A = this chain, B = another copy of it.
Amino acid sequence: MRADAQRNRERLIEVAHQVFKERGLDAPLDEVARRAGVGPGTLYRHFPTREALHEAIFSSWIEEVRSHVDKAMLTEGGSREKLLAWFEEYVALLTRNHGAAAKITASLGCQDSPLRTKCQAYADANERVLEAMADDGALREGVDNLDVCRLLGGVATMADQSSLDAHAVRPMLDVIANGVLRS
């Protein structure tokens, strides 16, 4: 790759990160190109679709999810406290960008989404936590990982579009925790 192309690509990702954080994942791509000082054609050359750009934005996703799940598993207390700590971390992570919760959770089902690796990282992390719960004998039978991921994705999506803070989200996570754990 030519040196100027390399620079443009990096600059686009950097600017897009900023713009998407400010105005949400549906922000005008014009603005990304303009602020990066390139023509719209250059943006499209590097990222043919909006999703391709989203994918680049979330590149640190996998490591972030891993570190958050590790942190949550070290929470003081029993299964319930660990599970809720993870749920809270996750919703916080997913609501960091406007529109991300819905898009990432939607790609849980379909194999061909560019966000596939991102949501898979989340699903894997959640499975780790659920398995730890199961090892403690704390998990109800018949609880499916994908269903829990979608429930949390739903909560995060609602929090995203109603601008709910952690305090408002917590009771919903309590209900899910109650539904997932033996009483």
Bound CA–CA A142/B155 (angstroms): 18
Identify which of B106, B147, B171 contacts A161 (C-beta below 8 A).
B106
Contacts of A110 in B (CB 8 A): 162
Cβ distance A1 to chain B, nearest Cβ, rounded Å: 35
Contacts of A151 in B (CB 8 A): 151, 154-155, 172, 175-176
Contacts of A143 in B (CB 8 A): 175
Q: Does A178 contact B (CB under 8 A)?
A: yes
Given contacts A176-B176, A177-B179, A183-B183, contact A153 B158 (CB under 8 A): yes
Copy total for this chain? 2
- Residue of chain B at shortest CB distance from A177: B179
Q: Does A78 contact B (CB under 8 A)?
A: no
Given contacts A106-B161, A109-B162, A161-B102, contact A175 B147 (CB under 8 A): yes
Given contacts A140-B178, A175-B143, A178-B140, contact A105 B148 (CB under 8 A): no
Binding site for B on A (CB under 8 A): 102, 105-106, 108-110, 140, 142-144, 147-148, 150-151, 153-155, 157-158, 161-162, 164, 171-172, 174-180, 182-183
